[in-house]
Structure 1
Amino acid sequence: MTTTDAHPTTTIEADPDVPTVRMVREFDAPRELVYRAHVDPELVRQWMGPHSIAMDIEVWDMRTGGEYRYTATRDGEEIAHFYGAVHRVDENERIVQTFGFEEMPDAVSLDTLTFHELPGGRTRLEALSVVYDFEARAGMLASGMEVGVDEGYAALDDVLARLGGAAERA
């Protein structure tokens, strides 16, 4: 479990019996905005990953049967390459995709992101990643994923606040 003073808690759990990672995070924004921030490449670019990383999105086709590919850069240098296939998208409710990392080819995961509407215009995001074996999961957890998740979700809070403010002004 992780938390920061300015942002809600992100829970990251590794099941001891099954090679999965489950993450849960609540956002002070309506489900439609949280979902939009996951499927709109211009918004994704603003929040995903650690602060020290920029994203160069080559493909971002978040629809059933779509795909994505992006490169993470730091100070203009390519440091990681990510890709996946989008298996199912239920608008504002769920995304099922694979997640691959070229530098760790055996650590491909099947990820399900579920967007739960909460009272008061809030959203709970649950993400479940299933990997091939415990070794692949250990590599995933050791990769610095927690920092990227925490910093990314904190940036997502800021993006959602801007989107919410823009929606209120419209």
Structure 2
Amino acid sequence: MNKAPLIQQRIPVTSPALYLSGIQALNLRENGIDDPTGDWHFVNAFFTYADQPQDVPLYGAGGAWIDTHESLGARGIRDLSAIVCKQELVAPEGPVWVANFYRAIADIVALDARAQRSPGMASVSTINQWLDTPEEIAHLKQDYLTPLAAQFQGDSAAWMARFLEEVRYR
């Protein structure tokens, strides 16, 4: 067990094309504004051990994870500087661009599709824990996952097609 103290991961400069997503975005929400409930792990999302310093990973063009701009553009990416400040997170001057809840889920699904990982980080069961209503699931599927599927080819496209068939409210 690591006994080093926890420190905040550095939040790099962001933009609408290079933004926070994944678990970090799921932990920054605008009190019901396009952000349903979720499974919060704030410390895991923004802190690390002092002897293992690291930056918060970014999504998008040139990011550490995956770029979904090809299929989703800037859909669901918004400035959450005020929320970041309210959470007392240290961030660079200027806007802190963060995926909304639906875009964060889509970005995680994109990672799963690329790796063809089932069940993935955003399994249908997990999505049903994060989203509370049939309407939220339908919004995710229609406005985020279906356009996202067009981004993939080959085995990843086949994985995405199977996944889309499974996504439903349970």
* TM-score normalised to structure 1 length: 0.26
* TM-score normalised to structure 2 length: 0.26
Which is richer in helix?
A: 2
